[in-house]
Amino acid sequence: MTPRNPSSVKPTSMPSIRTVGLTGILVTFGDQLSEATNNAALAFQEAVDRLKIDGVTETSTSLVSTFVQFDPTRLSRTALQGQLRELAGSRDWSVSKDAVARRLWKVKTSFGGEDGPQLDEVAQLVGLTPEAAINQVLETRVRVITIGFAPGQPYLGTLPRNWDFPRLPDLIPRVPAGSLVVALRQLVLFTNDTPTGWRQIGQTAFRNFEPNSASPFRLRAGDEMEFVRVGQDEMRRCLADPTRATAAELVDLS
Amino acid sequence: MIRSVTILRAGPALTIQDLGRPGWHAYGVSNGGAVDCMALHEGAALLGQTAGYAALEMHSFGGDFLIEGDCRIALTGAPMIAHLDGVTLAWNASHKVKHGQRLSIGAATSGVYGYLSVSGGFQTPEWLGSRSAHLAANIGGLLGAGDRLPVGDDPDEGAMSVFLRVPDRFSGGDIRVVATLHTSLFSTAEVERFTQTNFQRSLRSNRQGAALTFEGPPFTPEAGQSILSEPMISGDIQMTGDGYPFVLQSECQTAGGFARMAQVLPCDLPIVAQATPDKVLRFRFVTFEDADLAYQSYLTDLRNLRGQTRPLVRRVEDIRDLLSYQLISGAVTGWETDMPEDSK
């Protein structure tokens, strides 16, 4: 047969509701990352969670979408799609106040040198001196747009428009855990040592993921983050402390 | 006595796996768990226990193991050559093991992932409700010689050894898929070619995904690969930047920006995982209605596995201490009629 999945066509009217294989539904609020689309995705996820729909197994968000996983033996796909469509149409999710951050992380960061080998290259791409580029990052309060790829790993955004450059075509063989990397107006703070196409501009001692802790994931989508500049020597001291107690400060905004 | 299994010699990729840890997708942790979860259900059915117990997943090759404390074991998944103190053991069967015996599991004779289950399960540390190693997330790791794995209490010590007739899932064949997020980004002709292409699972595959090779030009979406990153789950078939398919498996990343052609039904995913590179895989689209029915009947089959076990009787020539057996009582009668296929 020819596969025609009417619900998997490219989203034209927003929000769009599409199936992801047998057990997933994706509600998408825009075709480009913006604060409005990301707000909507986060607020809609909270609203779906509040409904406690029997048969929904888990929910999560991407940059512009809410992802709903379900058990098709307990909940019919059509019924769930209908319910999500009704909820999506019930209000304008992009202006939602639900997703306003309640927590701010101030993360110590050392920029450039061996802690940011691609800083000079990045400064050229954004049309600034390395110092001015660092200052632009320091002045921007970013938000956890989504968490993914590795445990607790945040995608942070968005940086000013001049930071809209692509990832590298070839992978850097290894950047260390805690490194601050950049592309596409977003920053990522790596959970593990990893090969990557993102350019490293700084190093933090922040751990996204503490497997032995009672709350192993430190960040939530919607959290805000600021970077506090420290020198390389201070960063070495932060990294040497096994508890990483001084790596970041958490401010409760609620 | 405290039961345990000590690894004396390890194959290339031994990990502890159960059914995984659902519920953490939003935090970047995919479900994980056994790549061939059907084998865990079979192991549990053979031991008369629920499927939640942790087992040992063995990629291509097992290893040598010292068993301490009497226990029962079950061997499932890709059939491997197995001996207990030199005596051949049937695959897809449970066996009683005495304290101090040595279990030797060699190379897979077909398929990729074999499983060693124990009565009471491996009681290695749990994390977020699961004992599964998740290599991609840096949770747990590969096991090696010297590792001692604690084993739980046997829920049914006196249970007899049994076997299961298991339909072949180690020879590739037709894989059922449904349309997914980006299917419509590919032209009808490309989708058609996808269903008419013979694929092979390459040796570059791992617990994250099965890399497929094929003859022909790469599969690329009509509008190119510039799509926003969206959530991914196991079964999704993503076309990487070079247009080669990757079937995501239990340890897949939680999001990705490559176009996805289709999604393999959960019940057919073990066939992809267990295909050696000499086997041919073909993808066939089914409707959501048919997919739901297939999934439902797969779950029913898993629930009914225990009722399908049959007593396992050892071959006379394998019984070293024949004279100690009570032949007259009839305990070993019927051994020719109900032998598992692969032990003949």
* Complex ipTM value: 0.87
Same-domain status, A121 and A70: no
Query: CA geometry: angle at B225 spanning B242 and A197, to 5°?
Result: 70
On whether both A20 and A130 belong to a single domain, the answer is no
* A241 and A115 part of one domain: yes
Same-domain status, A59 and A167: no
Q: A26 vs B137: CB contact, 8 Å cut-off? A: no
Overall number of domains in chain A: 2
- pLDDT given for residue B222 in this prediction: 85
| A108 in the same domain as A89 | no
| Residue B341 pLDDT exceeds 60 | no
| Tokens describing residue A233 | 């020597």
Confidence of residue B337 (pLDDT cuts 50, 70, 90): very low
Whether residue A198 sits in one domain with residue A76: no
CA nearest B32: which of B211, B169, B233, B204? B233
| Residue A122 included in any domain | yes
Q: Please, are residues B39 and B113 in contact by the beta-carbon 8 Å criterion?
A: yes
Domain end residue (candidates: A95, A129, A158)? A95
Q: Looking at the complex, does the CB of residue B298 fall below 8 Å from at least one CB of chain A?
A: no
Q: Is the pLDDT of residue B256 over 60?
A: yes
- How many C-beta atoms lie closer than 10 Å to residue A236's C-beta? 14
**CATH (domain of A35):** 3.30.1360.40
At A32 the pLDDT is 85
- Give residue for tokens 């751990």: A207
Inform me whether the C-beta atom of residue B212 falls under 8 Å from chain A C-beta atoms: no
For B1, other C-beta atoms within 10 Å of its C-beta total 8
CA distances from A180 to A215, B81, B159 (A): 23, 49, 56
> Of A58, A73, A95, which residue constitutes the final position of a domain?
A95
B312 and chain A in contact, CB less than 8 A: no
The single residue listed with the structure tokens 């600034």 is A128
A77-89 and A35-51 helices cross at what angle (nearest 10)? 120
Nearest to A149 among B179, B235, B253 (CB): B253
Where residue A131 falls (left for φ over 0; alpha for ψ -120 to 50; beta otherwise) is: alpha
Residue B300: per-residue pLDDT: 96
Question: Residue A149: which of B22, B179, B255 has the nearest Cβ?
Answer: B255
Closest CA to B116 of B20, B169, B47: B47
Alpha-carbon torsion B278, B211, A152, A180, what sign?
A: positive
Under-50 pLDDT residues of chain A: 1-2, 4-11
Assess whether A122 and A202 both reside in one domain. Answer: yes
A95, A130, A163: which is the final residue of a domain? A95
Q: Is residue A69 part of a domain?
A: yes
| Predicted local confidence at residue B226, as pLDDT | 65
Domain shared by A157 and A125, yes or no: yes
Using CA atoms, how far residue B19 sits from A59, B22, B43, B278, B324, in Å, is: 19, 9, 12, 28, 41
Least confidently predicted of A1-5, B241-245, B266-270 = A1-5
B225 reaches A (C-beta below 8 A): no
Cβ distance of B263 and A22 shorter than 8 Å: yes
CATH (residue range B173-302): 2.40.100.10
**What is the sign, positive or negative, of the torsion defined by CA atoms of A65, A68, A69, A72?**
negative
Asked if the structure places residue A1 within a domain, the reply is no
On whether both A238 and A162 belong to a single domain, the answer is yes
* Domain-embedded: residue A49: yes
- Please name the residues in contact with B324: beta carbons below 8 A apart, sequence gap of 6 or more: none
Q: Residue A124: which domain range?
A: 103-252
Residues A163 and A241 in one domain: yes
Tokens encoding B156: 């049914």
A116 and A214 assigned to the same domain:
yes
CB contact under 8 A, A73 and B253: no
Query: Which DSSP state fits B11?
Result: -
| pLDDT band with cut points at 50, 70 and 90 for residue B330 | very low
List of chain B residues whose C-beta atoms are within 8 Å of the C-beta of residue A8 = 179-184
Yes or no, beta carbons of A19 and B181 under 8 Å apart: yes
In chain B, which residues have their Cβ closer than 8 Å to the Cβ of A145? Answer: none
| Domain parsing of chain B, residue ranges | 3-166, 173-302
What pLDDT sits at residue B43? 98
Tell me the C-alpha to C-alpha distance, in Å, between residue A59 and each of A48, B8, B193.
8, 43, 34
Query: Chain B, 258-277: which have a CB under 8 Å from a chain A CB?
Result: 262-263, 265-266
Mean pLDDT, residues B25-30:
93
Find chain B residues with C-beta within 8 A of A152's C-beta. Answer: 27-28
Largest pairwise CA distance in chain B: 76
Which CATH number goes with the domain that contains A217? 2.40.100.10
Place of tokens 């090759």: B61
- Measuring CA to CA, how many Å separate B169 from each of B61, B119, B251, B274? 18, 25, 21, 7
Predicted confidence (pLDDT) at residue B343 exceeds the cutoff of 50: no
- The pLDDT score that the predictor gives to residue B120 is 96
A126 and A232 share a domain?
Answer: yes
- pLDDT band with cut points at 50, 70 and 90 for residue B321: low
Report CB contact under 8 Å: B22, A58.
yes
This prediction's pTM: 0.88
Contact A22 B26 (CB under 8 A): no
Distance, in Å, from the CA atom of A143 to the CA atom of A103, rounded to the nearest integer, reads 10
Tens of pLDDT, residue by residue over A136-154, are: 999 999 999 999 888 999 9
